[in-house]
Amino acid sequence: MRIICPYCGERELGEFTYLGDAKPQRPAADAGEDAVYDYVYLRDNIAGVMSEHWYHGGGCRAWLKVTRNTLTHEISAVEPAAGVGAAKVGA
Amino acid sequence: MVAGAQTHRLANGGVIDRSTSLSFRFDGKTLLGFQGDTLASALVANGVKLVGRSFKYHRPRGILTAGSEEPNALVELRTGARREANTKATTAELYEGLEAASQNRWPSLNFDVMSVNQLFAPIFVAGFYYKTFMWPAKFWETIYEPAIRRAAGLGRAAGVSDPDHYDKAWAHCDVVIAGSGPTGLAAALAAGRSGARVILCEEDFVLGGRLLADGGTIDGLPAAEWVARTVAELEAMPDVRIMTRTTLFGVYDGGTYGAIERVNDHLPVPPEHQVRQRLWRIVAKRCVVAAGSIERPIVFAGNDTPGVMMASAMRSYINRYAAAPARRIALFTNNEDGWRTAETAIAAGLQVAAVIDARPDVSPAHRSLASKAGFPVLHGSVSGVDGGKNGVRKISVALTGGARAEAEADGLAVSGGWNPAVGLTSYHRGRPKWRDDIAAFVPDGAPPGMIAAGAANGAFGLGACLREGFEAGAVAARDAGRSGNIGSMPVADDEAFSLTPLWHVAGKGKAFVDQQHDVTASDVELAQREGFESVEHLKRYTTLGMATDQGKTSNVAGLAIMAAVTGKSIPETGTTIYRPPYVPVAIGAFAGHHRDENFHATRLTPSHQWAAEQGAVFVDTGLWKRAQWYPRAGEKDWLESVTREVKAVRSGVGFCDVSTLGKIDVHGPDAGAFLDRVYINAFSSLAVGKARYGLMLREDGIVYDDGTTSRLAEDHYFLTTTTAKAGLVMQHLEFCRQVLFPELDVQLTSVSDQWAQFSIAGPKTRDLLKEIVDPAEDLSNEGFPFMGAREVKLRGGLKARLFRISFSGEMAFEISVPARYGEAMARNLMIAGKPFGVTPYGTEALGVMRIEKGHVAGPELNGTTTAGDLGLGKMMSTKKDFIGRVMAGREALVAPDRQVVVGIKPTDKARRLRSGAHIIPKGETPGPGNDQGYVTSVCFSPVLDQWIGLGLVERGRERIGEIVRAHDPLRGEDYDVELCNSVFYDPDGGRQRG
Amino acid sequence: MADFSWDVRSPLDRALVAGRYGAQGDVGVSLTEIRNFDLVQVMARRGQAGEMIAAAKARFGVGAPETPKAVSASDATLIWSGPDQFFVLSKGGKHTMESLTPGFAGSASLSDQSHARALISISGEKARAIFAKLSSIDLHPDVFGVGTAAATSMDHTSVTLWRGGDRDGQAVFNLLVFATFAESLWHTILDSAAEYGATIGHSEDL
């Protein structure tokens, strides 16, 4: 599999580390145990298009959000995680 | 011994170099061949028919094909450590001094004791093992399996380490082309002319594919001349790379292809500094599959007799190698193409005994050929073969209409039609589709970016191959963004093709479908009767197609026979899943450079060279080599050395390279806030110039890592991790920074390799440091208190970072210098510490002192423990959110009966404690119900003069003083131990603060 | 008082043996370790990428690379190392951590990496053939021209690779390798180079 890193270009799978479903959002500090439980343990396992976190640890160290079809491995979009490129946003 | 004459070498022709004679040995007999021969063609030229014995029945077998689809002619190639079993004689290039031996026979190929298996053949049917060796169960390992292993099987592995080197490489191109027959060459021409970067892979050592055997006329030129002209044009293109001896064997996601290049398999030994084989990962925007097709056998009784050969293979031997597989050839065909073998034989001056044609009609041209050459055309099928290990003698024919006929011949050519090589196009779980007109499976779509063309796509005519190849090459290049002028397409006529499907001729005697695995037509029928009708069941029950040839000549025939007995069509019966590799690939090639000491990358500490000079014993810790202890002359074992090192530290001073700890610079205005969220304890409140021990949890509340972090400036922290987790913690922190907390202004950099860090410990630490640190620096307890951290100047001006932290429980500092000074630091510590008896110590002594001091490490931070379990629950801040906070509060994670860290020591002071021993209450029977934990870490404590340890024990901290059993069934030990305070040494901590 | 010498030791000190290696005859590749350099990682603070680039321009006369490029200044090379960050590579003592810090105050965080990496320069007719065994990325001149940089991995080891100016008509590839991995990767490079014949040396010329 090859992933097009938005910063480095197309690279082979070995440079990346998979984390998993990128959909769950870390709950706010006061969200309570149920919300955190959902965040930590409940994951979709879609046979089809999924949004996933990948880490380009063997390259630019950017965390990426990869839209991938788990059946075909086709990757339709790769975007940086929110904080990558924060140097360009207003403080 | 005189080399055998090449009795079956034709006087003229062939793509061989008759001026280079090569001597080789087969089963100890010296023979001659020519440069350009394969082992198989050289054997054919020497009249050798019997090449091996079959897998199950030990039947005599010869050469069936002339390519990588060969099921029979498998040999042990080379000798000694380079001996390679199951090598196809049909693809092994001949070289001077080649040695090959036949397989699966004893004592000799001609007289093979195990051929008695044929007499027991009725019991060696499909499912034999499953049915026969059911019980008694204990007989399986002791009697059945060894006996079966002796009888069955193929070649022997060398049994010693492979002395040759292999490597792996990447290649990138616009278009990769599999196969250099007319289709592949035409594709390469079109793609190359359009300006594409092209890689053309050919598994053979000569380009041309079927043109080498079947010739033809292209663009008005004889095929060989056209090939030479085309190759010259391609070689002149700078971005076209032609790779012979290279098989494209697999298709992977994202346009990545696997190929194996047999760089030096054609030489006895690879030249110095060269590899035997190279594994290529080719990244291509497009792929043209021009892998051709494989002629398929017809299954009939005696079809495995040496001398029965594929019709196209016979043409290869005669035309390409000028070697006659037989002098009087019979041909059994169900299609027009097979007749070319009769034409070839006649042109080469060989006799044709008869043509047995299963079709109702034979063309007038072929009838006149028969009458001119004087051989009969028999309408019908071969029903049996007379002959044995010395080859075919007589062919029995069942004529259409019921009469019988015979033909005397020493070779039988068989053509059942052609199967496109659909492997590559089907590797993404693609299923080929059936085409009735050619009675064959053809690709039905392909993985993204791949185009099948020519015979691989079911186009068998030469003209059609050139057309499809050229178009595919042009389309592939265009899709890859190349648009140069592709010039004119090569042109040739298309041959007529007519075929009447015939898969299996019923008759007496064994008729083989899969010759490599000895699967017969009746095995397929038996599988159906026993309910294994699905092709995937058929495959596994009979092992059809599961040998190293992956059923290239047998799978479709097997399906056809299954279809016939079930009354279904072949497409209804379906195919099994195709999986790479297309040809066997040596594990050595997949390993490449990564074997022995290069199995993985190695990391060396900055003082490694110095430690090696001191005679340190090194231990692998992840990728690191770390000094484990420093033995001295006269010490009888590691324990004596380690004990000396510990005593030296506790009574004087010692130092240890701790550079393997992960080190991370945390910068930015929000660095403190960031650390507050990743550690359970607070860091924003840490004063500049101070260090603090921190504990990180996973989001599920389990401990992730620990280490000390120092604040070097308002916006700069220096964080350390454990050695084992250094990379993972960096990844985790980047996740926190980039994904979880993007609003924080914080920057992270690994500085693990920037700093050489040494722990200096023992009551005389300050004395040593005063020697090496600039006298202006105040190292007193007031000037540099416990948990202080700041930059200091060393004598001579070098700046270092000094941290007053202790893992040993002694008065201790850690000192960091830029890594290139690491070795000088080690040497200078030895000089500075000489008056105080400084002792370098390794990871073992480090471990002993941390256990004596009750510090947790890897065995306790084991992915199941909470901060509370480690006795660090009080560190958890209640004033802030941090990773793992909520989940750490779950009922089960704070339950009072959890297994927690506690000290453990045997009641018998002389007894050695072992980690892994289970803790069982006194008086209880050991068992899962009574298992209350286990011993995690042990050491011999020089201070206590006995073995001690840490353990995770249920309610351990409430049970101090209790005597329990350490039950160690693995080592057969059971003894009493006392649960005690985990801090065995200096529990008040006075020494490290002093 | 004891006498201390503070000699620096390259992480390749033990493994690097100057002279010929591998096949004799033509030299396929030159492997040169560059010693005595300063290397500082510069990382933009939140919302400060523009200021960081301006600060680089003020210091070096060229802007910091915003894409995987290596930009040459008169006495330094600025090499992209990730989003909103780059390395300043210069001759030892030229652009040290201390001297760079004031110019980037407020716009970037700096981390000294001078000792964290070994710098290896690889050139020669077979350089690309050797990199084919080490690197998964495409170094064809159309794709990886002079001044192209990449943060990538070789032998599972993170490296920074960039193409410098050609020398004697041959491409020159520069490689920053983590110091503790350097000896191991060096052996892998030697293994890859052996069949082509290598000439090995070290230099202080950046």
Show which residues on chain B lie within 8 Å of chain A, measured between beta carbons.
252-256, 281, 283, 428, 448, 699-700, 727, 731, 734-735, 737-743, 745, 881, 886-887, 889-890
Residue ranges of C 49-68 with Cβ closer than 8 A to chain A: 49-50, 52, 67-68
C140 vs B823: CB contact, 8 Å cut-off?
no
A33 CA to chain C: closest CA distance, Å?
32
Residue ranges of B 777-816 with Cβ closer than 8 A to chain C: 794-796, 798
A87 vs C158: CB contact, 8 Å cut-off?
no
What residue spans define the domains of chain C? 19-35+115-203, 37-112
B258-282 pLDDT, tens digit each? 999 999 999 999 999 999 999 999 9
pLDDT at residue B145, as a whole number? 63
Q: Which two tokens stand for residue B317?
A: 């031997």
pLDDT at residue B941, as a whole number? 98
Residue C138 — pLDDT band, cuts 50, 70, 90? very high
Q: For the structural domain made of B502-566, what CATH number should be given?
A: 1.10.10.1100
B256 vs A26: CB contact, 8 Å cut-off?
no
Check whether B613 has a pLDDT greater than 80. yes
User: Which residue in C111, C134, C142, C157 has the most chain B C-beta atoms within 10 A of its own C-beta, making it the best mutation to test that interface?
Assistant: C111
- B238 CB neighbours in chain C (<8 A) are none
Chains contacting chain C through 3 or more C-beta pairs under 8 A: A, B
- C49 CB neighbours in chain A (<8 A) are 87-88
Residue ranges of A 1-20 with Cβ closer than 8 A to chain C: 7-9, 11-12, 14-15
pLDDT at residue C2, as a whole number? 63
> Closest partner residue to B731 among A2, A12, A55, by Cβ?
A55
pLDDT at residue B560, as a whole number? 95
Query: Is C136's Cβ below 8 Å from some Cβ in A?
Result: yes
**What percent of chain B is modeled with pLDDT above 70?**
96
A62 CA to chain C: closest CA distance, Å?
7
Residues contacting B324, CB < 8 A, separation 6+: B8, B9, B10, B44, B45, B317, B318, B348, B350
Query: Is A2's Cβ below 8 Å from some Cβ in B?
Result: yes
Angle at B405 between CA B399 and CA B410, to 5 degrees: 120
**What percent of chain C is modeled with pLDDT above 70?**
99
Q: What are phi and psi of B383, to 5 degrees?
A: -110, -10
- A90 CB neighbours in chain C (<8 A) are 47
Task: Report chain B's mean pLDDT, rounded to a whole number.
Answer: 94
A36 vs B256: CB contact, 8 Å cut-off?
no
pLDDT at residue B130, as a whole number? 62
Class of domain C19-35+115-203: alpha beta
Architecture (CATH level 2) of domain C37-112: 2-Layer Sandwich (3.30)
> Closest partner residue to B751 among C9, C111, C132, by Cβ?
C111
Architecture (CATH level 2) of domain B1-161: Roll (3.10)
Looking at the domain B297-416, which fold is it?
FAD/NAD(P)-binding domain (3.50.50)
User: Which residue in B730, B749, B886 has the most chain A C-beta atoms within 10 A of its own C-beta, making it the best mutation to test that interface?
Assistant: B886
Domains B166-293+421-479 and B297-416 share a fold: yes
Residue B2 — pLDDT band, cuts 50, 70, 90? very low
What residue spans define the domains of chain B? 1-161, 166-293+421-479, 297-416, 502-566, 603-659+755-850, 662-750, 896-994
ipTM above 0.90, yes or no: yes
B893-929 pLDDT, tens digit each? 999 999 999 999 999 999 999 999 999 999 999 988 9
User: What mean pLDDT is predicted for residues B544-549?
Assistant: 92
Q: For the structural domain made of B603-659+755-850, what CATH number should be given?
A: 3.30.1360.120
* DSSP codes of every residue in C181-204: HHHHHHHHHHHHHGGG-EEEEEES
B841-883 pLDDT, tens digit each? 999 999 999 999 999 999 999 999 999 999 999 999 999 999 9
Residue B133 — pLDDT band, cuts 50, 70, 90? low
* CA nearest neighbour of A16 among A28, A6, A2: A2
What end-to-end distance do the CA atoms of chain A give, in Å?
37
Chains contacting chain A through 3 or more C-beta pairs under 8 A: B, C
> Closest partner residue to B739 among A29, A31, A81, by Cβ?
A81
pLDDT at residue B753, as a whole number? 98
A42-91 pLDDT, tens digit each? 988 899 999 999 999 999 999 999 999 999 999 999 999 887 777 876 54
Chains contacting chain B through 3 or more C-beta pairs under 8 A: A, C
Residue ranges of A 24-43 with Cβ closer than 8 A to chain B: 26, 29, 31-33, 36-37, 39-41
B875 CA to chain A: closest CA distance, Å?
19
Distance CA B451, CA B358 (A): 34
Q: What are phi and psi of B485, to 5 degrees?
A: -70, 120
- C137 CB neighbours in chain B (<8 A) are 170
pLDDT at residue B994, as a whole number? 79
Evaluate the omega torsion of the peptide bond into residue B163 and state whether it is cis, within 30 degrees of 0. no
Number of H helices, E strands in chain B: 26, 49
User: What mean pLDDT is predicted for residues A10-26?
Assistant: 95
- B795 CB neighbours in chain C (<8 A) are 1, 4
Beta strands B512-514 and B603-604, pairing class: unpaired
Query: Is A55's Cβ below 8 Å from some Cβ in B?
Result: yes
Residue B107 — pLDDT band, cuts 50, 70, 90? confident
CA distances from B478 to B236, B482, B563 (A): 21, 5, 42
* CA nearest neighbour of B804 among B713, B914, B692, B916: B692
**Residues B166/B278, Cβ–Cβ less than 8 Å:** yes
In CATH, which of 3.40.50.300, 1.25.40.10, 3.30.428.10, 3.30.2270.10 is domain A2-85?
Answer: 3.30.2270.10
CA trace torsion A12, A16, A18, A21 (10° rounding):
-90
Class of domain B166-293+421-479: alpha beta
pLDDT at residue B137, as a whole number? 65
Give the distance between the most distant pair of CA atoms in chain B. Answer: 116
* Nearest chain B residue to C129, by CA: B169
| B861, burial (CB in 10 Å: exposed 0-12, middle 13-18, buried 19+) | buried
Distance CA B309, CA B296 (A): 10
Check whether B123 has a pLDDT greater than 70. no
> Closest partner residue to B738 among A13, A17, A81, by Cβ?
A81
* Nearest chain B residue to C23, by CA: B273
Instruction: Indicate the pTM of the whole model.
Output: 0.94
C152 vs A58: CB contact, 8 Å cut-off?
yes
- Based on C-alpha coordinates, what's the Rg of chain C? 18
pLDDT at residue B376, as a whole number? 97
Distance CA B861, CA B269 (A): 51
B390-400 pLDDT, tens digit each? 999 999 999 99
pLDDT at residue B191, as a whole number? 98
In CATH, which of 3.30.70.260, 3.30.70.1400, 3.40.50.2300, 3.30.750.210 is domain B662-750?
Answer: 3.30.70.1400
Half-sphere exposure of C45 (CA within 13 A, CB side): 20
C152 CA to chain B: closest CA distance, Å?
14
pLDDT at residue B1, as a whole number? 39
- B602 CB neighbours in chain C (<8 A) are 181, 183-184
Distance CA B605, CA B622 (A): 13
